[in-house]
Amino acid sequence: MLALPNIFLQRMKDILGNEFYDFADALNQETPVSLRKNPYKYTEFVENEKVAWCNNGIYLPQRTTFTLDPNFHAGAYYVQEASSMFVEQAVNQYCQHKNKIIALDLCAAPGGKSTHLLSLLPENSLLVVNDAIRSRTKMLYENILKWGNSNVAITNSDPKHFSSLHGFFDLILVDAPCSGEGMFRKDNNAVKEWSVGNVKLCAERQRRILADIWSALKPDGLLIYCTCTYNIEENEENVKWLIDKFGAKSLKIKTQPQWIISENLFPEIFSYRFYPHKTKGEGFCLNVLSKNGGETDFYERKENHHKKNIAKNLEFVRKYLSNPEKYSFITDDYIVKAIPKMFANEINIISNQLKCLSFGITTGTIKGNDFVPSHALAMSVDLNIDEFPQINIDKHSALQFLHKDNVRFDCETVGYNLVRYNNNALGWIKNIGIRTNNLYPSEWRILMDIKSQAFQ
């Protein structure tokens, strides 16, 4: 039985009324397991229940050990809470008619909603994924890289540093740090840390974040504001504050009755709430707002030029990408990066204004006469796989590779070989004749014992 603070229970009674006891019972039930498939990579889950509001979302009948699934490491899917996949409806209903979108996921780590946005935004789009806490960007970088898209930049900046980018973004997603009431049945620490005082502190911090980034949103731009908490202070009251202070407009999302999403706790605000006794997922609340008025586009008023060297002698790298005409190639300390030409200026601005950790595709490193392909290139959906010899392996060998064991792979071609499992790339090995070197990133290797699991 989940022990919850009495004052929290009373507050939920005030919100839910007669539904409260069904809600309380649901908190003691097993949490659903869901994931979202990567539409750019091969995935196969047979006859699983779908998440109704997400085209690529599915439920699993029970939790599995994802660490021991090579498809997980290949970026073929992301394990994500089902309720939060509702972001898809906001993006599809308000962004799909646009041709080019510059978007920001402000509080992005570990990357669930970022990878979702990369699957949803129109093709000619750029996504900036940011987290202010440096330690959290390691997992963010890993998840973004495995997803395989090149139209993304990863930054590590405080929200206030975005305030100078006047009118830069068409879309900003703020999945705000919150009191976590919606995660109580998954996270006992959230229960221990909860208090009315902490709710108020979270609400104040959220307002500071929203105020910091508001100027970076274009006129008529879209703000998606969401939390994984139930209280009114961190949700509708903050939305009302945005409306009163900045003239924001609350927007409506079309839903289906069978989704059983609770809507419009207050008549003037279109708010979408997920409760575990009604929807198959955890607690979640989402609001969509548009910006009325504001400054003109930053990048139209201030153009920057890339400071790094434009690489004119790297034609050999072009053949490694399936559509090289999309990219410009630059070098930085012998590291070769491919930058989408369409967003070269925007990436310049981001690099100059923010603490930018990564952008485009890091294709590899020049070492003397050798070009060492990067793990990012292996994971990229733009990799031209026909340019590399390939080794297709079974699950046992894949787990050994991901464990970074010294395994002799059966390959005839000397040099760099692409290791694949179930039609998805896992990384590189280098065949030097007498042995093969496993080039999987050491910091990402599986630490779990794989001996007893490899043949399952």
Which pair of tokens denotes residue 339? Answer: 């930058």
Q: Which among 54, 95, 107, 228 is annotated as catalytic? A: 228
Q: Is 228 a catalytic residue?
A: yes
Which pair of tokens denotes residue 250? Answer: 């609350």
Q: Which residues are catalytic?
A: 228
